A and B are shown apart, each in its own frame.
Chain A
Amino acid sequence: MVKIALVSCGTEYSGIQKEIEKAALKFGAEIILPEIDLDFINEAYEKFGFSAQSSSLKLMIARAMSIVEGKCKPDAVFIATCFRCAEGALVRNEVRRFIQNNTRIPVVTYSFTERTKADELFIRMEALATTVTRRSILAREKQEGLTLGLDSGSTTTKAVLMENNKVIGTGWTSTKDIIESAKIAADEAFSNTNYSWGDLDGIGTTGYGRFTMGQEFKAELVQEELSVNAKGAVYLADCQKGEATVLDIGGMDNKVITVNNGIPDNFTMGGICAGASGRFLDMTSRRLDVDITELGPLAVQGDWRKASLNSYCIVFGIQDLVTTLAAGGSKADVAMAACHSVSEQVYEQQLQEIDIREPLIQVGGTSLISGLVQAVSETLGGIEVIVPEYSQHIGAVGSALLVSGMGHRNEQ
């Protein structure tokens, strides 16, 4: 059983201890608490050098120290502090860096509230358990052979065909029936090649429909999107070493993943507001009567400050944009204001929850809207934003990469 050390400032006082244990158990892992004696707390705390006032944070530091010094030997570490606690967030990130810089133990961090449920933690625990049990797969930096990656998302299904470290075919369709959509996307990926299903060395699946597709196509790799997207992004952006942040502003939900040497260590996902999603831009392009592919180039010519936008809401915000147009505002200014609205909303709702590390790799369909990429960079104070080639197919590329070397279905 995978042993996950819990390094936290008191999850038991928020009533979520049971949820953490439940989430770990689902993926064959157990939560352990690094045991330390009282004297070691002060010793470790002084050695670490962070003057935390809260004694639970001192305990966190001591637990991290006991892991780094090998007194406790977990397979993975889960670091959690209260959401909105500044001192907790500072210690959480420093403890995370300390463990990552001094060990090869995978780490996932989280800031919790009393509403945290096991379901929210599943993907993190699965990613942690994966990193432990499939370390050799995640270490893969080159794709070999002929592999197919399938990403069944809530809105679209993507397929990528890769051969010897190159993307040779891509496919895309809106998600209806999971299997049928996957077949349509895969056939599109095969269409300009001489290959078919029978030639594949391996199939990797990810996304919401990964289990269904995995069973149907007898996939060698069925993997959550946290590990797959992170790996796909750093592979395509050529940032496999060091730190990075992966941002995916989706049609329905948004994901932000922080990555250390290609392995995800924190993750935040939101999807409660259409105003913070690609849907807002879709609505804007319809109102402006331009194709969504033209929205980005149009936006970069505009100035968002010239368009009055008093609400992030998809209903009232769009209404404001219409009012601006009616008052003689330019389409370009309105397009850029819409891009800024989404990026600011994503910043306020999600990016503040996570420690942003440069470079920021923007992926997903919305990364093709250049105005949005520029708006994200501006919102984050001019941070470097990389949009790699095939960024809209990130999950499928990650799956095709990770499954390479695992499958030898031709030989079988």
Chain B
Amino acid sequence: MVKVAIYPPNSLVIADLVERKGHQPLALQKQIRQKIKDPEIDSPPMNITEDDPIKGLKYAAIEVPSGVRGRMSIIGPIIDEAQAAIIVDNAPFGFGCVGCARTNELSIFCLRKRDIPQVELTYPTNQDETMEMINDLHAFLDKLTEMEEAGEFAEEEGDD
């Protein structure tokens, strides 16, 4: 099971595809669910406190707006943990989004910078493109399975 970061990080469609292929999608929902369930914090709606944008300093400097750093405090660890990545460019907000263009730019850059298998696709605008995108995703996820079977992720898993 390969840990796959997806972008947009809350895209249910991609998370579902990854899961169906037997891998682990690193999705935002899981991170947020964890924060909400934490009984020690009382900062609704997502239990993000002023400490979270400070944690985001690992990914963006103090001059970067708090909203970007707050988002990065959740998305950043997903990027760090990823063994592979799927990025969908130009996705409409209904497909999944974090609401902030600057966070998108930084997150995608951080993913691209990582030396991990990744695929970058453009959001489809018609049925043919949709079929093509799904095929590309399947091919990528199958390749991850082959790589895993060949033991290519073993060392990284041990590191975790």
Query: Which residues of A are interface residues toward B (Cβ below 8 A)?
Result: 9-10, 12-18, 38, 41, 52-56, 58-59, 81-85, 87-88, 112-115
The minimal Cβ–Cβ distance linking A322 to chain B, given in whole angstroms, is 35
The residue from A18, A38, A84, A112 contacting B44, defined by CB atoms under 8 A apart: A18
**Most-contacted residue by chain A among B52, B54, B66, B102 (CB, 10 A):** B66
Can you pick out 28 interface pairs between chain A and chain B where the beta carbons lie within 8 Å of each other? A10-B67, A10-B70, A10-B100, A12-B48, A13-B53, A13-B99, A14-B66, A15-B49, A17-B44, A17-B45, A18-B42, A18-B44, A38-B94, A54-B100, A81-B67, A82-B65, A82-B66, A83-B65, A84-B64, A85-B68, A88-B65, A88-B67, A113-B53, A113-B65, A113-B66, A114-B50, A114-B70, A115-B50
Contacts of B63 in A (CB 8 A): 84
Known contacts A14-B53, A15-B53, A17-B45; decide if A58 and B93 are in contact (CB<8 Å): yes
Contacting A at CB under 8 A, from B28-72, are: 42-46, 48-54, 63-71
Q: Contact string, B79-119, partner A, CB cutoff 8 A, digits 1/0?
A: 00000000000000110010111100000000000000000
Instruction: Evaluate contact between B67 and A59: CB separation under 8 angstroms.
Output: no
Most-contacted residue by chain B among A54, A59, A88 (CB, 10 A): A54
Query: Max chain A CB contacts within 10 Å: which of B45, B50, B97?
Result: B50
Among B52, B93, B97, B99, which residue has its beta carbon within 8 angstroms of that of A15? Answer: B52
Q: How large is the interface on B (under 10, 10 to 19, 20 to 34, 35 or more residues)?
A: 20 to 34
Closest residue of chain B to A59 (Cβ to Cβ) is: B99
How distant is the Cα of A59 from the Cα of B93 in the complex, in angstroms?
10
A165 to B112, CA, bound (A): 68
Inter-chain contact B50/A54, CB cutoff 8 Å? no
Flag if B52 contacts A54 (CB, 8 Å).
no
A203 vs B71: C-alpha distance in the bound complex, in angstroms? 49
Give chain B nearest CB distance to A21 CB in angstroms. 8
Whether the pair B53, A114 counts as a contact (CB closer than 8 A) is: yes
Q: List chain B residues, Cβ under 8 A from A112.
A: 66
| Distance to closest chain A CB from B108 (angstroms) | 13
Chain B CB count within 10 A is highest, among A16, A56, A58, A114, for A114
Q: How far is the CB of B126 from chain A (nearest CB, A)?
A: 18
Q: Assuming A82-B68, A83-B66, A113-B66, is B50 touching A16 (CB within 8 A)?
A: yes
| Identity of the chain A residue whose Cβ is nearest the Cβ of B47 in the assembled complex | A15
Among B64, B67, B101, chain A packs the most CB atoms within 10 A around the CB of B67
B99 with A54: CB separation less than 8 A: yes
- CB-based contact B99/A10 at 8 Å: yes
With both chains docked as a complex, state the minimum distance between the C-beta of A62 and any C-beta of chain B, in angstroms: 11
Contact across chains for A14 and B99 when beta carbons are under 8 A apart: no
- A13 to B, closest residue via Cβ: B70
Minimum Cβ distance to chain A for residue B129 (Å)? 20
B102 touches which one: A15, A41, A85 (CB < 8 A)?
A85
B99 touches A85 (CB 8 A): no
Q: In this complex, what residue of A is CB-closest to B49?
A: A15
Q: Are B100 and A15 in contact (CB under 8 A)?
A: no
A12 contacts across to B, CB distance below 8 A:
45-46, 48
Cβ contacts under 8 Å, A18 to chain B: 42-44
Given A13-B100, A88-B67, 8 new contacts (CB under 8 A): A9-B67, A12-B46, A14-B48, A55-B93, A55-B101, A81-B67, A113-B66, A114-B70
Q: A17-B43, A17-B45 are in contact. Are A55 and B69 (CB under 8 A)?
A: no
